[in-house]
Structure formats: C-alpha cells, structure tokens
Structure 1
Amino acid sequence: MPYLKSKHLTTNLKNWNEDSDKANRKLIYIGGKIRFQSEQYLEDYIEAYFDTIFPELVLIKRQHSLKMQRCDLLCCSKLHKQAVIIELKNEEDRGLVSQLMRYRKIISQNQSFAELIDYSLPIKLIAIAPTFHEDNYTDKEASKFENDISFWKFHVEYDTTGTKFQLEGKSYDVLYPVFGLPRSLQNEVIQNTVLPAFTHNFKSNLPVDTHQNFRIIRELFMAQPKMKEMVSPTYRKILYGTGEGENHKKLAEITNTSKGIWLFLWLPTRVKTKIKIPVARFGFVLAANNSHFAQDSVVEWLVCTKTTVNIEDQSNNKICLSFDRHGMAKWTSANMYLCQAGGYINTLDLFIYLLKGANRPFDDSIWEWWRSQEKNTPTNLGWYIDLAIKTWNYRIK
C-alpha cells in the first residue's frame, strides 16, 4: 500500500473529502487559456446551471449507463419530449461522433425513461467542447444522422469582473476559483481552499513555517491537467502525477522524514539515446536558511536520484562527482544544470523548445541565446518549478 486511496477513508474522512471536493472545484490557467480542472468539474458546472443554459430542456439523468455505454447527460425537450443526448468534453476528442452514435443506438434500442421521452422523434445529439478536431466534422458529414448532430464550442474568460462561461453566444458566471493565474491576478479565495483529508494530514506533519509555501506550491501542481495528489500511509510523502506506478508520469514529490524535508521534481535530463522526452527525478538542496518550497529560495545543488537526498554526500567527492550511465552528474551545481543536462541533442532540443518555444532548424539568435543560458542556469527554486510544469504539460499533451 504505497499510497492511500479512497477505500482507506473512514466515514468522517469521506464526508470531509466530499465537502472539500465541492468547495474546491476549480478552473486552471494553462497555455494562456482557462479550462476546467477536469471533465467532472465541467459536468458539475453544467448540471448546476442546466436550467439556465438549457431552458428548453429537462435533465433526466447524468452519467446514464447501459450495456457498458455511459452518456454524460440524457435529456428531453420540454415541448415535444424529444430525446437529447449531450456529451461534454474538456479537451479535443477525435472520436466524438462514433461515441455519440453508440449512445444513440443503445438509448434507442432500450428506450430508457419511455414515460418521459417520445421515441417516435429522432434523437438529437449535442457535443460541447472547447475545440473540435477536423475528424469530428468528417465523421459527422459521413453519418446518416448528420442533421441531428450539433457541435457547440465553449470557452472560459477571466477579467476583473469575474469568470465567464461562453457558449453559443451566451455568457454565464463561473464561481470556481482559477488556479495557475499569474500571481498579479491570483484570486485570494484560493489561499482559503479546504484541503482533502489526506493532504491536510500531510501538511499537519510539516513545520508550521512551511504551511503557506506548501499551499502555494500545491496550487501550482494541482493547476495542471490530469493531475492526481497521492499521500503515503505515514503522511510523510506526497506525490503529484497521473499515478504511482512505474509507467505513470510524475511531476513532483515532497518527502518529510527524519533526514529532512525534500522537494523532488521530474526535469529534463542528459541521455545518450533518442528518447523523445528524457526526464529524471531531481532533489533540491537549498542554500542555508532558505525557506522550503518558496519560489525565491536559492538552489545550490540538484541531486539526480530515485531515492532520497543524503546531504553528507556533498562532502564526499567520489559520490558527488559520480555519473549515471548517460553521463548525467548525480550532483549538479544549480548554475550548471542546463550545461550538464543539455549535453546531447534530444535533451538540448527539449530545453530550447520548453524555454524558447523554438524547433529545429535553429537560427543564429537561438544559438546565441542558448550559449548565454547554458552556463548560467537561474538558481531560484521558482525557475525549476516552472520548468518542471512546462515539462509536465509537454509530456501529457
């Protein structure tokens, strides 16, 4: 049992988490756009505002399941009792039309809620998503039910007056806080969010003077798409990623043991082979008297390790100067990280893309920029956190 799961919650903790989840529904700011943290939060929002957004419809059931098929919203029109299936997507999905066709067939065959729906009328299909892939339009044109399929795009906007959900030319308020906004636009309500039960217990074991910085760094991690938060049974380790297994992608880990409090980030690393996204787990040794997790804390060393950081290794030149099989130093001084990790072409290309947004072929200005950067890596912790987040979003896109 490496990490706690919902089955380990007591009844009281389950109630705590339910309250926390309701209180902490959120939007995230990423790539210059605002989106719902998850498809579930999008569904929650649509369900809560259903009568306002769809005044002509009746919501019959959310997540209606039949024979291994499950549609998001099964509805009917108030006037004619015509069946309407609404599928919600928080991101682009190439298989939308085939998914809607399967729902249409199973609903039509089983005639669910026949007392509420007139099945002599065609079933209307609505897909709501931020963008639609070209294949969606191709599949729609090829379908004999083309006239019954509608694509509705949505987007979310944020300004000083609040957050708005825009759909089909109409605007609706969104009261969820926005995570990941530039600090100048941060909503103070985020600082008062209710932590889930396991996370609360983990934070309680941290020194009190780290609590605020932990909350701030946690906001950044939890603002990323497809993110899960996992806590160990001892409440001494917390992991951020898609899962705990070897094949899951990970962004960050915080450990709190008798040997100290350590932050680990998955960052680009030096590799000889042509791995598309070379990453490794790095721990951070901060300068004396610098605050744990604070963005402006000064990093002295990065330690490439799958286990923990042994601070005594700093004085052991043999260990400190050792390398992994690709030639990555196990201990790297912070200002030399880019130079050390970017020693091979695929990691170099990854760095230039993440930090400059450029792909090969590189012009002279890109090479000049790289030469100015590679031997002068920033040493503030916030820079490394930002790089880890950029790497995460590149890995999962």
Structure 2
Amino acid sequence: MPYLKSKHLTNNSKRRNETSDKANRKLIYIGREIRFQSEQDLEDYIEAYFDIIFPELVLIKRQHSLKMQRCDLLCCSKLDKQAVIIELKNEEDRGLVSQLLRYRKNILQNQSFADRIDYSLPIKLIAIAPIFHEDNYTDKEASKFEDDICFWKFHIEYQTTGAKFQLEGKNYDILYPVFGLPGSLQNEDIQNTVLPAFTHNFKSKLPVDTHQNFRIIRELFMAQPKIKEMVSPTYRKILYGTGEGENHKKLAEITNTGKGIWLFLWLPTKVKTNIKIPVARFGFVLAANNSHFAQDSLVEWLVCTKTTVNLKDKSNNNFSFSFDRHGMTKWTNANMYLCQAAGIGSINTLDLFIYLLKGATRPFDDSIWEWWREQEKNTPTNLGWYIDLAIQTWNYRIK
C-alpha cells in the first residue's frame, strides 16, 4: 500500500507540520550517548546559534546547491572574506573528505557570491561530527588541500541544568528535551507535543482511551535514529522505518482495522541460512482487555506474518505447528519465543540474541551459556520487553 507523501499535504497541514517540527525537536539517548534526532535538527541548531558558535564567520547560505551538490553551510570570514564550507554530520561518514572536496571544486568554479567572498584566498573546509572514521584521516592526508581541512568533533553532555553542545572546548546550551534517558519520557510532555498532520489524523481514528498510550509508544519509535513515520491514505495504518519498500528496514507498524488494533514489530527470527541479521515481522495477540500500546500488557502469542493476524487460526488445533520456510513457528507462545527463534540450526539468531540482551560475542564462556538457558526458560511476556527488543534490534541493524 502506498503511503502519504508531502505532496498530499494541504496548506493547513503544511502549517501544522511546520509547527510540529519546531515544537517537537528533541535529543535522543542512544548507545549511551546523546545525539540530535536527525541531521536536520543538528543543522537547525547550528544555524540558530551560528553567531554564538562562529563569531568570526558570516553565514551566507544554508544548503547551497551547485551541480547536484549541496553543502550544508556556505560562509565567509568577517576579517578577510575567506570562503568557509561547513559540513555537518550527525554520525560517522566514511566519504566525508571527498564530499567536501567536491563542494570546494564546484563553488570555486562557479564563484558563488563573488561580491561577498574573496576567491584569491584558499577555501577552508570544516567537518563537524560526533566521530570521524579512520578513512577520513587517511583521505585528508592524501589530499593536497590537507592544510585547509579541519575535523571538529562535537559532544552533547547532559547536566542538571540541561544539555550542552560541546565543540572545540566550548559549551553551548541546547534547549531541546532529551528522550531515552531514564525518567525523561513524561506523560505531560508527550501530551503537549504537536503531532504531524498525517499522524494526527491516524490518532483521531483510534479509540479515545488509547490516545495517550499511542503517543507514548510513538515517542519511543520516533526517538530512534533514521526513523521515518509513514501513514496510509486511509489513516488506518502507520509504519516506522527507513521507508516503505521491500528493501527498506522497518521497526514497527500499527494497523487499525474493523476487527481491532494490531501492533507489529520486526524482531529476531529463526533462520537456517547465513543471514547476518535475521529479522521478521511479528504481530501480537494479547490477553483479554490488554492494550496494544501499553508496556505492561500481557502477550499470549507472537504471530510471524507478512500480512495481518487472523484469529480464526487459533481454532485450528494445528496452528502452533505451522512453520515458515526457515522453521519458525507462525504462532509462538510468548514464553517460548526465545527458545523457538534461537532453536537448532539458527546460530546467527542465537548470537544476535546474546549480543542484544547481554552484550556478549563469541566465544561464550560457561557463565553466558548458563545465563542463556535461564533466559530461554523465562522469556518475558510483557509487551514492553518486546518493544525494547525491537528497538535494540533496530539500532543494531542501522548502525
């Protein structure tokens, strides 16, 4: 099913989305580090604080495009009008140096803003990122413009007074809330967030008593890196992932059908092949009167399916013995999920579980195997555990 795009927005919807983007900027806590939720948020922050962070520079244009190339910030020095190109990265990027050099060539050939820039001076190239790959330093050393290329690492520190953006030994305030820290996801904060237009319409079709829990679970999904939120034209399905296509990675999906609400998560699954990160789409059958959005809901069954969950299958006495092509049961009792998914012949899935849940990699000692046997026998059955596992799996897949 195709999902709604920005071209489907009305003028009122566009205004709502602009308000939502400004009101809902946040930092996220991932992998024991605090990051901007997206590269655009990093760019927005740098642009808003540009005069404070770079008092010696003048910002000429953001996202300056030339010959299918687009640099983040085109600047010049106040003192002598030297051109300065700043490239911002929210994560590691191995091709950073070649990207900067292409920008340099295009701008030099085009002589952009010649009335404000002195092109007789060398163009300074600045990359700002939380981490730089070893290849970045190799490429810099190999470049004849090495002396004009600067790598500046940034770090975000959380203090009692709020988050601080640290760059080149200086600290700058960040007034965005931090999501993902223990206790940082407060109900009142979520209630006050402005939902994007398509998401607002999806929520409006949900039962009123699920609205708050939907907002909470949505914030958990949206706090993950590289996540896009996609809504169907009927406003009955919402997908979280890198995109809607078959080759895109997905984290979660919520469907609101005439027969009820269903949550689907992409979780580790049993495979008998050499798939490095084996995942599949699982739907959840909950205990009676439990919410598909509540962390403490009791999970009875996990259903491995590419379509919807058909409860009529439960009336078939053999439903729990139906398998997919890799040997994963299509219907798995919640407390048997780990045992089934990491069963005989599924080494990659077993290794993935132990890494995600314990942080250990092979070779495993006896204490790890003892811990794993206990995990298999005591697989949690609360929905929050599965949501957390899906999020951990997502971050492992996209890193």
What band does the TM-score fall into relative to the shorter chain?
over 0.9
- Say if 1:180 and 1:219, in contact at 8 Å, map to a contact too: no
- What SS does the corresponding residue of 1:90 show, helix, strand or coil? coil
1:155 and 2:159 aligned = no
1:362 and 2:361 aligned = no
1:336 and 2:336 aligned = yes
Aligned to 1:327: 327
Aligned to 2:60: 60
Shift of residue 191, structure 1, vs aligned partner: 3.7
Shift of residue 38, structure 1, vs aligned partner: 0.9
What is the alpha-carbon distance in structure 1 between the residues aligned to residue 191 and residue 162 of structure 2?
A: 17
Amino acid of the structure 2 residue aligned with 1:238:
I
1:201-280 correspondence to structure 2 within 5 Å: 201-280=201-280
Aligned to 2:84: 84
- What SS does the corresponding residue of 2:55 show, helix, strand or coil? coil
Structure 1: runs of 5+ lacking an equivalent: none
> 1:344-368 deviations in whole A, cap 9, x for unaligned?
2111111111111111111000100
What is the alpha-carbon distance in structure 1 between the residues aligned to residue 224 and residue 161 of structure 2?
A: 24
- What SS does the corresponding residue of 2:318 show, helix, strand or coil? helix
Amino acid of the structure 1 residue aligned with 2:185:
Q
Aligned to 2:11: 11
- What SS does the corresponding residue of 1:185 show, helix, strand or coil? coil
Aligned to 1:390: 392
Shift of residue 18, structure 1, vs aligned partner: 1.3
What is the alpha-carbon distance in structure 2 between the residues aligned to residue 95 and residue 274 of structure 1?
A: 29
What is the alpha-carbon distance in structure 2 between the residues aligned to residue 96 and residue 318 of structure 1?
A: 55
Aligned to 1:72: 72
What is the alpha-carbon distance in structure 2 between the residues aligned to residue 9 and residue 147 of structure 1?
A: 47
Aligned to 1:186: 185
Aligned to 1:27: 27
Aligned to 1:168: 168
What is the alpha-carbon distance in structure 2 between the residues aligned to residue 268 and residue 216 of structure 1?
A: 23
What is the alpha-carbon distance in structure 1 between the residues aligned to residue 292 and residue 208 of structure 2?
A: 11
What is the alpha-carbon distance in structure 1 between the residues aligned to residue 108 and residue 312 of structure 2?
A: 69
1:294 and 2:294 aligned = yes
- Say if 1:177 and 1:190, in contact at 8 Å, map to a contact too: no
Amino acid of the structure 2 residue aligned with 1:279:
V
Shift of residue 142, structure 1, vs aligned partner: 1.8
Q: Percent identity?
A: 88
Amino acid of the structure 2 residue aligned with 1:370:
W
Equivalent of 2:355, from 350, 353, 356? 353
> 1:75-121 deviations in whole A, cap 9, x for unaligned?
00111111111110111111111111111111111111010011111
- What SS does the corresponding residue of 1:217 show, helix, strand or coil? helix
- Say if 2:26 and 2:177, in contact at 8 Å, map to a contact too: yes
Amino acid of the structure 2 residue aligned with 1:352:
I
Deviates more, 1:290-299 or 1:213-222: 290-299
Shift of residue 43, structure 1, vs aligned partner: 0.5
Aligned to 2:382: 380
Shift of residue 292, structure 1, vs aligned partner: 2.6
- Say if 2:190 and 2:216, in contact at 8 Å, map to a contact too: no
Shift of residue 375, structure 1, vs aligned partner: 2.3
Aligned to 2:97: 97
What is the alpha-carbon distance in structure 2 between the residues aligned to residue 119 and residue 107 of structure 1?
A: 10
What is the alpha-carbon distance in structure 2 between the residues aligned to residue 321 and residue 149 of structure 1?
A: 61
- What SS does the corresponding residue of 1:295 show, helix, strand or coil? coil
- Say if 1:268 and 1:278, in contact at 8 Å, map to a contact too: yes
What is the alpha-carbon distance in structure 2 between the residues aligned to residue 101 and residue 190 of structure 1?
A: 43
- What SS does the corresponding residue of 2:254 show, helix, strand or coil? strand
- What SS does the corresponding residue of 1:75 show, helix, strand or coil? strand
What is the alpha-carbon distance in structure 2 between the residues aligned to residue 277 and residue 191 of structure 1?
A: 36
What is the alpha-carbon distance in structure 2 between the residues aligned to residue 291 and residue 249 of structure 1?
A: 26
What is the alpha-carbon distance in structure 2 between the residues aligned to residue 307 and residue 136 of structure 1?
A: 43
> 1:270-313 deviations in whole A, cap 9, x for unaligned?
11111111111100111112223111111111111111112222
Root-mean-square deviation over aligned CA pairs: 1.2
What is the alpha-carbon distance in structure 2 between the residues aligned to residue 96 and residue 129 of structure 1?
A: 10
- What SS does the corresponding residue of 2:40 show, helix, strand or coil? helix
What is the alpha-carbon distance in structure 2 between the residues aligned to residue 146 and residue 277 of structure 1?
A: 38
- Say if 2:111 and 2:119, in contact at 8 Å, map to a contact too: yes
Amino acid of the structure 2 residue aligned with 1:390:
Q
- Say if 1:177 and 1:189, in contact at 8 Å, map to a contact too: no
What is the alpha-carbon distance in structure 2 between the residues aligned to residue 394 and residue 299 of structure 1?
A: 24
Aligned to 1:308: 308
- Say if 2:81 and 2:118, in contact at 8 Å, map to a contact too: yes
What is the alpha-carbon distance in structure 1 between the residues aligned to residue 124 and residue 325 of structure 2?
A: 58
Aligned to 1:135: 135
- Say if 1:179 and 1:190, in contact at 8 Å, map to a contact too: no
Shift of residue 186, structure 1, vs aligned partner: 3.3
What is the alpha-carbon distance in structure 1 between the residues aligned to residue 177 and residue 341 of structure 2?
A: 37
TM-score by length of 1: 0.97
- What SS does the corresponding residue of 2:135 show, helix, strand or coil? helix
What is the alpha-carbon distance in structure 2 between the residues aligned to residue 190 and residue 62 of structure 1?
A: 31
Deviates more, 1:13-22 or 1:250-259: 13-22
What is the alpha-carbon distance in structure 2 between the residues aligned to residue 35 and residue 244 of structure 1?
A: 25
